[in-house]
Amino acid sequence: MSGERAPTAENPPVRRLADWSPERLRELADDHGTPLYVFDLDRARQNYRRMAEAFPEADVYYAAKANTARPVLQALADEGAGVECASAGELARALDAGVDGSHVHYTAVNPPDRDLDVAVRLAEEHPGVTITVGAEDTLDRLADRGYDGRICVRVNPGVGAGHHEKVTTGADAKFGVPYERAADLAESAAGAFEVVGIHAHAGSGISGEDLSAHRDLVGRMGELARDVEGRGIDLEFVDVGGGFGVPYSPDEDPLDLEAVAEATREALGETEATLAVEPGRYLVADAGVLLTSANTVKETPSGVVVGVGAGMTTLARPAIYDAHHEIRNVAPGADERPSREVTVAGPVCESGDSLGDHWLPDPQRGDLLAVGNAGAYGYEMASQYNSRPRPASVVSDGDDARLARRRETIADVTAVEPEVDR
């Protein structure tokens, strides 16, 4: 499933915020308003090609939770990517986007009954879908629904890594079957299901500092694969997850993907199964920016606060993870102004509603600000908290741009509420 196309001549390992055209961003903001997510499909294609080039003999599954916009799913699938889905909704969206069932993994954690109902139905309608299970209970629940198809066993390898403790999954008991029981579970499940793979995931946002943890996880999965194969089970794949990090700050170096790939192959060792990886953030983060307009510039004793239309309901990562996203003032002539340190704050009535402190050209009301690396977990984590409608999203493909998600209205927020006579 991995692509055979080599990277294009100009395919740098990271796209910085300064590489986006201010003129083009202003044009899109004028056409669609703000806050606005902008996504470059060609950049996502480039990122996939680089991943496929680094892992030429592996299957690459895009972790859809990073960005489920239909054009994104379709563009990556057209390049050769499979899709890894963490919920029934993502599974439905991948299949609705035309991804073949044989290229889709459903990897839910403690799935609710209604999700399993949907997954079993869709697996029947789309042969080849693989359902990943992380608990013996889930096998029982699948059997109760008459499912006897393809399964993958998710393993807790006892090894975790990532950019924040809240996304370090590999050592969290919530995720997967304990390592020492995984082979036995796979063997017992083989009598009722088609056991096709084993899976583990260290965490999200793994950088060079975490490579030793990633290597340990892959090594343990290689040992487990050989144990399972020794029990007469022909595994199709060993999935070592994704979590490949991207640089959110301009002084961070991009991930040495070739080194990661080499370390992964060496750690896995000999197995008849195909290696599978699940990049999400790596494929889409630097393909997206968030545009927002300054509506208030306030001098305070502690500094300048720039109020913008995008807050924690638009981009949740800074509030949840203390995540840094670079910001650039792309208003005409902004680069000619003197810079100063300012706090960029959203419209939600919480002190945590901030996009952080940044050095920006002296801000003015009406300035257009671009927030970098917003292609992953940006729109996906947006909410209607404070009854705020979610923003619009556009995708750019070459010279063309089209609406991927329209801007919500207050009527959209209240549409799910039944009318009650008073």
Binding residues for substrate are 281, 317, 321, 350, 377
Which of these, 50, 49, 76, 72, lies nearest to 61 by C-alpha position? 76
Q: Kindly write down the DSSP assignment for every residue of 42-88, as one continuous string.
A: HHHHHHHHHHHHHSTTSEEEEEGGG---HHHHHHHHHHT-EEEESSH
Produce one character per residue of 216-244: b if its CB has 16 or more CB atoms within 10 Å, e if not: bbbbbbbbbbbbbbeeebebbbbbbbbbb
Please give the positions annotated as active site: 349
The binding site for pyridoxal 5'-phosphate comprises 243, 278-281, 377
Q: Is 19 helix (H, G, I), strand (E, B) or coil?
A: helix
Produce one character per residue of 89-102: b if its CB has 16 or more CB atoms within 10 Å, e if not: ebbebbbebebbbe
| Alpha-carbon span 187 to 11, nearest angstrom | 44
Instruction: Copy the structure tokens of residue 32.
Output: 């669609």
| Alpha-carbon span 72 to 40, nearest angstrom | 9
Which of these, 235, 206, 205, 199, lies nearest to 220 by C-alpha position? 199
The residues, ordered by sequence, that sit 6+ positions from 126 with a Cβ below 8 Å of its Cβ are: 95, 100, 101, 104
* SS3 track for 342-385: EEEECCCCCCCCEEEEEEEECCCCCCEEEECCCCCCCHHHCCCH
The binding site comprises 243, 278-281, 317, 321, 350, 377
Question: Cβ(323)–Cβ(373) under 8 Å?
Answer: no
